[in-house]
Amino acid sequence: MSGALVQKDGGVQKYVYYVSKSLLSAETRYQRTEKMALALFVVSRKLNNYFQSFQIIVLTEHPLKSIAENLQVIGWIAKCATELKPYGIKYEPRTAIKRQVLADFIAEFTPRLSAQCNLLDG
């Protein structure tokens, strides 16, 4: 599971931070919307300073807003909703993100295979 913090500067999308997390065995059985809520929760914890300092807009095709504002939710989703509420997150329909920008960002911050091989050999 992964998430990216994107800053829109004029008409240009710039990736600021990339977060990834391996799902635990139980988490792999979550419904897709629950996985999306978990991803937002994990990103908010790792990027707490950004969430406190800036207006966060979540672009999604899933009904995360209704989950976050639903007072009837239970369990860990209720915990997520409670922790995310103070941030005043805005949820908007997802638009196209330029895929090449994401690919370039990931490639730039991913260790090179040759560098890893050198570390293992040395």
pLDDT digits (tens, 9 = 90+) for 78-112: 788 888 888 888 888 876 655 556 666 666 655 55
Beta carbons of 16 and 7 less than 8 angstroms apart: yes
Amino acid symbol at 113: L
What pTM does this model have? 0.64
Q: What dihedral angle (degrees, nearest 10) is formed by the CA atoms of 87, 57, 24, 68?
A: 60
- Alpha carbon distance, N-terminus to C-terminus of the chain: 32
CB 73 within 8 A of CB 41: no
* Token pair belonging to 44: 């908010």
- For the stretch 9-66, pLDDT in tens is 887 888 888 888 888 888 888 888 788 888 888 888 888 888 888 888 887 777 777 7
3-state secondary structure of 63: coil
